[in-house]
Amino acid sequence: MSKHPPSYAFSSRYGQHRSITRIDQTHYLIEGETHYMRGGHDPKTDWVMVDFEGGPFIATGEPLHACVGWFPCLEESAVVKTVKQISSQAAAEALGFTDSAVVAAFDKPNYSYCLVEVAP
């Protein structure tokens, strides 16, 4: 099991917990309590968006810090290349956790995970 990278907490506009974790040079995990998450895709432009209930709204082509705010783990020039909602198991594995008990702890009710890839 790898060491869990630092996470930075923030709140949705409804006061729900959110956090952002830098996984590596080009990937971030955004997670938090939400009753629903919307997504969209325009096949003509390949524009993709994910929107947590109460924010953040994350879309391809946007600077990541404009979507989630400013955190020490963000590169100022990082622009969202891909964004997708992922399962709790995929989120745990992205952070390097493989122990089944730890992976199971990521499966929380009304909780969503989003994997963001940025182009530096």
What's the pLDDT score for residue 49?
92
What's the pLDDT score for residue 59?
93
Which percentage of the chain shows pLDDT scores above 90?
36
Beta bridge partners of 8: 20
- The domain limits of the chain are 8-85+114-119
Task: Write the pLDDT tens digit of every residue in 51-100.
Answer: 999 999 999 999 998 888 878 778 778 899 999 889 898 998 888 888 88
Q: Do 16 and 54 touch, CB atoms closer than 8 A?
A: yes
Distance CA(106)–CA(32), nearest Å, equals: 11
Alpha-carbon torsion angle 60, 90, 103, 57, nearest 10: 20
pTM: 0.86
Distance CA(86)–CA(115), nearest Å, equals: 7
Asked if the model's pLDDT at residue 50 lies above 60, the reply is yes
Distance CA(30)–CA(49), nearest Å, equals: 13
Structure tokens at 22: 């830098």
Distance CA(32)–CA(50), nearest Å, equals: 13
**Terminal Cα distance for the chain, rounded:** 28
Asked if the model's pLDDT at residue 20 lies above 60, the reply is yes
Structure tokens at 31: 């997670």
What's the pLDDT score for residue 1?
40
